[in-house]
Amino acid sequence: DYAHKMLSEEFGEDWKEKYVVWDCCWGTGNLTRDYQFKELYASTLEQAELDCGKRYNSEATKFVFDFLNETIENMYGWNEKIPIGLRNAFKENKPIIFFINPPYATSTNVKKKVKGNRVITDTGIGKKMKIAKLGQANKQLYAQFLYRICLIKKHYNLSNIHIGLFSPTLY
């Protein structure tokens, strides 16, 4: 509720109707549930998370998408996982709010392994951050989410991107 209050103060009470909203680390929907959105996209890593939160945000377009590893486009065109409405939002430069509560894991505090036996913070975006010489930020998952959003903004030449980020005080 507090997150919604903060965004309403910044973007107006009608932000859920005026903006395309993408929670690109939706998980089971804790940040968006109990609220209605005109155009909500909810993506997460695992189908099981979508299944767990299936009764929330029935109006949303939900999809499995690895935001830190998968491409939005490739040499053949759009990644088929990206919903047409979201593609159009990019093409039309619609106002978009990335409304996220990303994982706070770092490579130093998480020993969890994921597919391919890699450390959870070893992502494609983390590697791009390392190449860009962004220091230790590449080891922070929430920093990787922010960097990916910046890359999307730049790639699609978007001029109306906003971020509603809820993170620990470390940020």
Among left, alpha and beta (phi > 0; psi -120 to 50; other), residue 133 is left
> C-alpha angle with apex 150: 160 to 92, nearest 5 degrees?
35
pLDDT single digits (tens) 86-133 = 999 999 999 999 999 988 655 544 444 445 444 567 899 999 999 999
**Helix residue ranges, H only, 12-140:** 15-18, 47-52, 84-91, 124-131
Note the pLDDT tens digit of each residue in 11-36.
999 999 999 999 999 998 999 999 99
Buried/exposed code over 74-110 (b: 16+ C-beta within 10 A; e: otherwise): eeeebeeebbeebbebbeeebbbbbbbbbbebbbeee
pLDDT band at 142 (very low <50, low <70, confident <90, very high): confident
Comparing 57-61, 135-139, 158-162, the range with the smallest average pLDDT is 135-139
Whether 142 contacts 167, CB under 8 Å: yes
pLDDT of residue 64: 97
